[in-house]
Amino acid sequence: MWLAVITLFPDMFHAITESGITGRAIKRNQVQFCCINPRDFTTDNYHRVDDRPFGGGPGMVMLAEPLEKAILHAKALAVSAGYSKVPVVYMSPQGTTLNEAGVKQLVEHDGLIVLCGRYEGIDERIIEQYVDQEWSIGDYVLTGGELPAMVMLDSMIRRLPDVMSDQQSAEQDSFVDGLLDCPHYTKPDVFNGVAVPAVLKTGHHLNIEKWRFLQRYQRTKTRRPELLASVQLTRQQKKWLKDDVDTALSDSVKKS
């Protein structure tokens, strides 16, 4: 995948390029990544990239011309790398809220140009003329688009083929099938008087799978019940839920 980020703070993306799974993917050339600074496309001595907004008001707005040149430069780089259709994505609180379905959609592209705004935002004409998609990571205000871009890119890169050392891990993460994750345990067997659930030490894979599913379902029901409306359960999972309800009812009858 080919990725370019247009940002005034390219050093921030060392967190993506030099660390963890994303850093390894870039070093292995599974992902081609570059940062483009709009200041490099200014023509004045001060390399100015912002100005006061028309109509007055607080803050500054990023200038259209340096951003346009940066976007066109990114598009030219994409073409030279063999990618002719690379959408421009703007990180914006007005965009679609990013979720797992959105990440899957983004990963289907051969590449992306990610535009990070600062200050009060960017000149609207850049959005109208060049931006193909707008994405948000939540309903709150940050100082710029860099952190949201890193969140989005991290989620995308880890879903690319062969990036994760254990692909099953990516497939079983929270939200992949609409449910939250289950509890996880490792050594020691007992910590502060709390033992690891016995089923996890039985080696019985089907029982472990059942336990993990029931834990995930219950956590989702308790913490994010709205997610259950879109969850598609398998026949086996429906049976496990029914068995769990029947067991709970039986236990209740015995106690009474």
Name the residue among 125, 145, 136, 138 with its Cα closest to residue 95: 136
Among 68, 100, 120, 134, the active-site one is 120
Q: Would the pLDDT of 167 be above 70?
A: no
Tell me: do 197 and 118 sit in the same domain: no
Tell me: do 220 and 100 sit in the same domain: no
Query: For the chain, first and last CA: distance in Å?
Result: 61
Tell me: do 128 and 18 sit in the same domain: yes
Please indicate if the annotation marks 126 as binding a ligand.
no
Between 84 and 174, the more confident residue is 84
Please indicate if the annotation marks 142 as binding a ligand.
yes
Tens of pLDDT, residues 71-124 = 999 999 999 999 988 999 999 999 999 999 999 999 999 999 999 999 899 999
Q: Would the pLDDT of 172 be above 60?
A: no
Among 38, 66, 158, 216, the active-site one is 158
Tell me: do 108 and 201 sit in the same domain: no
Please indicate if the annotation marks 49 as binding a ligand.
no
pLDDT for position 176: 65
**Annotated catalytic residue 158:** yes
Q: Would the pLDDT of 250 be above 90?
A: no
Tell me: do 51 and 106 sit in the same domain: yes
pTM of the model: 0.84
Q: Is residue 133 part of a domain?
A: yes
**Annotated catalytic residue 50:** no
Tell me: do 230 and 152 sit in the same domain: no
How far apart, in Å, are the Cα atoms of 68 and each of 34, 90, 98, 112, 123? Answer: 17, 13, 25, 16, 10
Q: How confident is the model at residue 137 (pLDDT cuts 50, 70, 90)?
A: very high
Note down the domain range covering 150: 2-167
Please indicate if the annotation marks 46 as binding a ligand.
no
Last residue of a domain, one of 120, 136, 167: 167
Compute the average pLDDT of residues 32-39. Answer: 98
CATH number, domain with residue 240: 1.10.1270.20
pLDDT for position 251: 76
**Annotated catalytic residue 110:** no
Tell me: do 129 and 232 sit in the same domain: no
Instruction: Identify the three-state secondary structure at position 133.
Output: strand
Question: How high is the mean pLDDT of the chain?
Answer: 92
Tell me: do 12 and 102 sit in the same domain: yes
Tens of pLDDT, residues 3-14 = 999 999 999 999
Among 173, 177, 181, 244, the active-site one is 173
As for how many domains the chain has, the answer is 2
